[in-house]
Structure 1
Amino acid sequence: MMSAAKPSVLFVCVHNAGRSQMAAGFLTHLAGDRVTVRSAGSAPADQVNPAVLEAMKEVGIDLSAETPKVLTDEAALASDYIITMGCGDACPVYPGKTYLDWVLTDPAGQGVEAVRPIRDEIERRIKGLIEEIDATG
Protein backbone atom coordinates (compact mmCIF):
# COMPACT_ATOMS: atom_id res chain seq x y z
CA MET A 1 0.00 0.00 0.00
CA MET A 2 1.77 3.11 -1.23
CA SER A 3 1.12 6.53 0.22
CA ALA A 4 0.41 9.54 -1.96
CA ALA A 5 3.87 10.85 -1.15
CA LYS A 6 6.98 9.25 -2.59
CA PRO A 7 7.53 5.63 -1.55
CA SER A 8 9.75 4.92 1.43
CA VAL A 9 11.98 1.98 2.23
CA LEU A 10 13.49 0.91 5.55
CA PHE A 11 16.42 -1.52 5.54
CA VAL A 12 16.97 -3.38 8.81
CA CYS A 13 19.78 -5.67 9.97
CA VAL A 14 21.12 -6.35 13.45
CA HIS A 15 24.02 -3.89 13.63
CA ASN A 16 23.10 -1.43 10.83
CA ALA A 17 26.79 -1.46 9.99
CA GLY A 18 26.93 -3.56 6.81
CA ARG A 19 24.10 -4.99 4.73
CA SER A 20 21.47 -2.37 5.53
CA GLN A 21 23.96 0.46 5.04
CA MET A 22 24.99 -0.90 1.63
CA ALA A 23 21.36 -1.34 0.60
CA ALA A 24 20.45 2.20 1.69
CA GLY A 25 23.50 3.56 -0.13
CA PHE A 26 22.62 1.78 -3.37
CA LEU A 27 18.95 2.79 -3.25
CA THR A 28 19.83 6.43 -2.57
CA HIS A 29 22.44 6.36 -5.35
CA LEU A 30 20.27 4.60 -7.96
CA ALA A 31 16.81 6.02 -7.22
CA GLY A 32 17.86 9.52 -6.21
CA ASP A 33 15.13 11.56 -4.57
CA ARG A 34 12.31 9.37 -5.97
CA VAL A 35 12.41 7.22 -2.80
CA THR A 36 12.80 8.05 0.89
CA VAL A 37 15.50 5.74 2.27
CA ARG A 38 16.06 4.73 5.89
CA SER A 39 18.22 2.12 7.57
CA ALA A 40 18.36 0.89 11.14
CA GLY A 41 19.46 -1.97 13.36
CA SER A 42 17.95 -3.88 16.25
CA ALA A 43 21.31 -3.62 18.08
CA PRO A 44 23.31 -0.91 16.24
CA ALA A 45 27.10 -1.02 16.15
CA ASP A 46 29.32 1.96 16.98
CA GLN A 47 30.31 2.55 13.36
CA VAL A 48 29.81 1.32 9.81
CA ASN A 49 32.01 -1.68 9.01
CA PRO A 50 35.30 -0.36 7.51
CA ALA A 51 35.35 -3.15 4.87
CA VAL A 52 31.83 -2.08 3.82
CA LEU A 53 32.99 1.54 3.52
CA GLU A 54 35.90 0.43 1.32
CA ALA A 55 33.78 -1.90 -0.86
CA MET A 56 31.16 0.79 -1.45
CA LYS A 57 33.79 3.42 -2.22
CA GLU A 58 35.04 1.09 -4.99
CA VAL A 59 31.67 1.52 -6.76
CA GLY A 60 31.53 5.28 -6.19
CA ILE A 61 29.29 5.38 -3.10
CA ASP A 62 30.67 7.14 -0.03
CA LEU A 63 29.10 5.94 3.21
CA SER A 64 31.72 7.55 5.48
CA ALA A 65 29.21 10.07 6.89
CA GLU A 66 26.72 7.33 7.85
CA THR A 67 26.28 6.07 11.40
CA PRO A 68 24.35 3.02 12.62
CA LYS A 69 20.90 3.92 13.94
CA VAL A 70 18.52 2.10 16.27
CA LEU A 71 15.31 0.70 14.83
CA THR A 72 12.32 2.74 16.01
CA ASP A 73 8.59 2.24 15.65
CA GLU A 74 8.44 5.67 13.99
CA ALA A 75 10.87 4.67 11.22
CA ALA A 76 8.97 1.44 10.57
CA LEU A 77 5.55 3.09 10.58
CA ALA A 78 6.75 5.78 8.16
CA SER A 79 7.96 3.19 5.62
CA ASP A 80 6.07 1.49 2.79
CA TYR A 81 8.66 -1.28 2.41
CA ILE A 82 10.54 -2.90 5.28
CA ILE A 83 13.42 -5.05 4.11
CA THR A 84 15.01 -7.23 6.77
CA MET A 85 18.43 -8.82 6.52
CA GLY A 86 18.99 -11.38 9.21
CA CYS A 87 17.42 -9.67 12.20
CA GLY A 88 15.05 -12.56 12.91
CA ASP A 89 12.54 -12.03 15.70
CA ALA A 90 14.13 -8.71 16.68
CA CYS A 91 12.31 -7.02 13.79
CA PRO A 92 8.75 -6.04 14.68
CA VAL A 93 5.95 -6.58 12.18
CA TYR A 94 3.50 -3.79 11.37
CA PRO A 95 0.26 -4.30 9.46
CA GLY A 96 -0.05 -2.72 6.02
CA LYS A 97 3.66 -2.75 5.23
CA THR A 98 5.35 -4.67 2.42
CA TYR A 99 7.96 -6.97 3.97
CA LEU A 100 10.87 -8.56 2.16
CA ASP A 101 13.44 -10.73 3.90
CA TRP A 102 16.73 -10.76 2.07
CA VAL A 103 18.97 -13.65 3.12
CA LEU A 104 22.48 -12.27 2.76
CA THR A 105 25.82 -13.21 4.28
CA ASP A 106 26.73 -10.99 7.22
CA PRO A 107 29.86 -8.97 6.36
CA ALA A 108 30.76 -8.49 10.06
CA GLY A 109 34.38 -9.42 10.66
CA GLN A 110 35.01 -9.99 6.94
CA GLY A 111 37.62 -8.33 4.77
CA VAL A 112 36.78 -6.31 1.67
CA GLU A 113 37.31 -9.37 -0.56
CA ALA A 114 34.44 -11.15 1.22
CA VAL A 115 32.28 -8.01 1.24
CA ARG A 116 32.41 -7.45 -2.55
CA PRO A 117 30.11 -10.37 -3.52
CA ILE A 118 27.63 -9.33 -0.78
CA ARG A 119 27.74 -5.77 -2.11
CA ASP A 120 27.14 -6.96 -5.68
CA GLU A 121 24.17 -9.12 -4.63
CA ILE A 122 22.66 -6.18 -2.74
CA GLU A 123 23.06 -3.97 -5.80
CA ARG A 124 21.28 -6.58 -7.95
CA ARG A 125 18.40 -6.77 -5.46
CA ILE A 126 18.14 -2.98 -5.20
CA LYS A 127 17.77 -2.70 -8.98
CA GLY A 128 14.90 -5.21 -8.81
CA LEU A 129 13.34 -3.31 -5.91
CA ILE A 130 13.44 -0.05 -7.90
CA GLU A 131 11.64 -1.80 -10.79
CA GLU A 132 8.97 -3.05 -8.35
CA ILE A 133 8.54 0.39 -6.75
CA ASP A 134 8.30 2.06 -10.17
CA ALA A 135 5.71 -0.50 -11.33
CA THR A 136 3.48 0.06 -8.28
CA GLY A 137 3.97 3.80 -7.97
Structure 2
Amino acid sequence: MSTPSSVPTVLFVCVHNAGRSQMAAGFLRALAGDAVEVRSAGSMPADRINPTAVEVMAEVGVDLTAEQPKVLTVDAVQASDVVITMGCGDACPIFPGKRYEDWELDDPAGLDAPAVRPIRDEIRRRVVGLLSALGVTPGERAD
Protein backbone atom coordinates (compact mmCIF):
# COMPACT_ATOMS: atom_id res chain seq x y z
CA MET A 1 0.00 0.00 0.00
CA SER A 2 1.28 3.43 -0.85
CA THR A 3 2.00 6.11 1.70
CA PRO A 4 1.48 9.83 1.25
CA SER A 5 5.27 10.24 0.88
CA SER A 6 5.47 7.84 -2.08
CA VAL A 7 2.79 8.43 -4.71
CA PRO A 8 -0.45 10.34 -4.28
CA THR A 9 -3.65 8.32 -3.98
CA VAL A 10 -6.71 9.65 -5.82
CA LEU A 11 -10.25 8.43 -5.18
CA PHE A 12 -13.01 9.20 -7.69
CA VAL A 13 -16.54 8.95 -6.30
CA CYS A 14 -19.97 9.08 -7.93
CA VAL A 15 -23.28 7.55 -6.91
CA HIS A 16 -23.22 4.35 -8.97
CA ASN A 17 -19.47 4.07 -9.74
CA ALA A 18 -20.57 3.01 -13.21
CA GLY A 19 -19.81 5.99 -15.46
CA ARG A 20 -18.08 9.24 -14.53
CA SER A 21 -15.86 7.92 -11.74
CA GLN A 22 -14.88 4.87 -13.78
CA MET A 23 -13.99 7.01 -16.81
CA ALA A 24 -11.92 9.36 -14.62
CA ALA A 25 -10.12 6.45 -12.96
CA GLY A 26 -9.45 4.89 -16.37
CA PHE A 27 -7.95 8.11 -17.72
CA LEU A 28 -5.83 8.65 -14.61
CA ARG A 29 -4.46 5.09 -14.75
CA ALA A 30 -3.69 5.46 -18.46
CA LEU A 31 -2.10 8.90 -18.17
CA ALA A 32 -0.26 8.60 -14.85
CA GLY A 33 0.92 5.00 -14.90
CA ASP A 34 2.56 4.16 -11.57
CA ALA A 35 2.93 7.83 -10.58
CA VAL A 36 -0.53 7.87 -8.95
CA GLU A 37 -2.52 5.22 -7.09
CA VAL A 38 -6.07 5.27 -8.47
CA ARG A 39 -9.31 4.22 -6.80
CA SER A 40 -12.98 4.67 -7.59
CA ALA A 41 -16.15 3.92 -5.66
CA GLY A 42 -19.83 4.75 -5.40
CA SER A 43 -22.21 5.57 -2.58
CA MET A 44 -24.78 3.19 -4.15
CA PRO A 45 -22.79 1.09 -6.66
CA ALA A 46 -24.52 -0.31 -9.72
CA ASP A 47 -24.38 -3.96 -10.75
CA ARG A 48 -22.10 -3.21 -13.69
CA ILE A 49 -20.29 -0.42 -15.48
CA ASN A 50 -22.31 1.63 -17.94
CA PRO A 51 -21.73 -0.12 -21.30
CA THR A 52 -21.76 3.21 -23.14
CA ALA A 53 -18.98 4.48 -20.88
CA VAL A 54 -17.00 1.33 -21.68
CA GLU A 55 -17.65 1.89 -25.41
CA VAL A 56 -16.57 5.55 -25.53
CA MET A 57 -13.48 4.90 -23.42
CA ALA A 58 -12.45 2.07 -25.75
CA GLU A 59 -12.59 4.62 -28.58
CA VAL A 60 -9.68 6.46 -26.94
CA GLY A 61 -7.73 3.33 -25.99
CA VAL A 62 -8.82 2.93 -22.36
CA ASP A 63 -10.22 -0.51 -21.49
CA LEU A 64 -12.78 -0.56 -18.67
CA THR A 65 -14.14 -4.06 -19.39
CA ALA A 66 -12.49 -5.62 -16.31
CA GLU A 67 -13.71 -2.93 -13.91
CA GLN A 68 -16.58 -3.43 -11.46
CA PRO A 69 -18.47 -0.83 -9.42
CA LYS A 70 -17.24 -0.76 -5.83
CA VAL A 71 -18.87 0.49 -2.64
CA LEU A 72 -17.54 3.68 -1.09
CA THR A 73 -16.01 3.05 2.33
CA VAL A 74 -14.74 5.38 5.01
CA ASP A 75 -11.41 3.54 4.83
CA ALA A 76 -11.05 4.33 1.11
CA VAL A 77 -11.59 8.03 1.78
CA GLN A 78 -9.18 8.03 4.74
CA ALA A 79 -6.50 6.26 2.69
CA SER A 80 -6.74 8.75 -0.21
CA ASP A 81 -4.82 12.00 -0.56
CA VAL A 82 -7.25 13.48 -3.09
CA VAL A 83 -10.99 12.79 -3.26
CA ILE A 84 -12.86 13.83 -6.41
CA THR A 85 -16.64 13.68 -6.09
CA MET A 86 -19.04 13.70 -9.01
CA GLY A 87 -22.58 14.17 -7.80
CA CYS A 88 -22.68 11.97 -4.72
CA GLY A 89 -23.89 14.80 -2.50
CA ASP A 90 -24.03 14.18 1.25
CA ALA A 91 -23.30 10.46 0.80
CA CYS A 92 -19.58 11.21 0.49
CA PRO A 93 -17.74 11.25 3.83
CA ILE A 94 -15.49 14.26 4.41
CA PHE A 95 -12.33 14.14 6.50
CA PRO A 96 -10.18 17.11 7.52
CA GLY A 97 -6.81 17.32 5.83
CA LYS A 98 -7.91 15.75 2.55
CA ARG A 99 -7.91 17.57 -0.74
CA TYR A 100 -11.45 17.56 -2.13
CA GLU A 101 -12.79 18.61 -5.50
CA ASP A 102 -16.32 18.33 -6.79
CA TRP A 103 -16.51 17.93 -10.53
CA GLU A 104 -19.95 18.89 -11.80
CA LEU A 105 -20.46 16.63 -14.79
CA ASP A 106 -23.56 15.29 -16.51
CA ASP A 107 -24.44 11.71 -15.56
CA PRO A 108 -23.94 9.46 -18.62
CA ALA A 109 -26.58 6.97 -17.39
CA GLY A 110 -29.10 6.29 -20.14
CA LEU A 111 -27.28 8.39 -22.74
CA ASP A 112 -26.02 7.18 -26.12
CA ALA A 113 -22.39 7.35 -27.25
CA PRO A 114 -22.65 10.74 -29.04
CA ALA A 115 -24.00 12.26 -25.81
CA VAL A 116 -21.38 10.58 -23.59
CA ARG A 117 -18.33 11.57 -25.69
CA PRO A 118 -18.37 15.24 -24.54
CA ILE A 119 -18.60 14.06 -20.90
CA ARG A 120 -15.65 11.71 -21.52
CA ASP A 121 -13.63 14.50 -23.11
CA GLU A 122 -14.34 16.89 -20.22
CA ILE A 123 -13.31 14.21 -17.73
CA ARG A 124 -10.04 13.73 -19.61
CA ARG A 125 -9.41 17.49 -19.57
CA ARG A 126 -9.97 17.60 -15.81
CA VAL A 127 -7.77 14.55 -15.20
CA VAL A 128 -4.94 16.22 -17.13
CA GLY A 129 -5.42 19.32 -14.95
CA LEU A 130 -5.37 17.16 -11.82
CA LEU A 131 -2.12 15.55 -12.95
CA SER A 132 -0.62 19.00 -13.42
CA ALA A 133 -1.74 20.03 -9.92
CA LEU A 134 -0.13 16.85 -8.55
CA GLY A 135 3.11 17.54 -10.44
CA VAL A 136 2.74 14.46 -12.64
CA THR A 137 3.46 14.63 -16.37
CA PRO A 138 0.76 12.82 -18.39
CA GLY A 139 1.88 9.82 -20.42
CA GLU A 140 1.21 9.27 -24.08
CA ARG A 141 -1.89 7.05 -23.80
CA ALA A 142 -5.58 8.02 -23.75
CA ASP A 143 -5.46 10.72 -26.40
Name the counterpart of 2:64: 63
TM-score by structure 2 length? Answer: 0.92
Where does the alignment leave 5 or more consecutive residues of structure 1 unmatched? none
Helix, strand or coil at the partner of 2:135: helix
Give, in whole Å, the separation in 1 of the partners of 2:11 and 2:66.
18
SS at match of 1:127: helix
Partner of 1:53: 54
State the percentage of identical aligned residues.
Answer: 66
- Equivalents in 2 of 1:11, 1:5: separation in Å? 19
User: Where does residue 130 of structure 2 map in the other structure?
Assistant: 129
Tell me whether 1:6 sits opposite 2:7 in the alignment. yes
| Larger relative helix fraction | 1
RMSD: 1.1
The residue type paired with residue 14 of structure 1 is V
Give me the TM-score of the superposition, normalised by structure 1: 0.96
Count of residue correspondences: 134
Mapping 1:1-137, distance limit 5 Å: 3-134=4-135
CA-CA distance at 1:122 after TM superposition: 0.2
CA distance in 2, matches of 1:104, 1:126: 13
Whole-Å separation in 2 of the counterparts to 1:20 and 1:10 = 9
Question: For residues 97 and 34 of structure 1, what CA distance do their matches in structure 2 show?
Answer: 19
Unaligned runs of 5+ in 2: 137-143
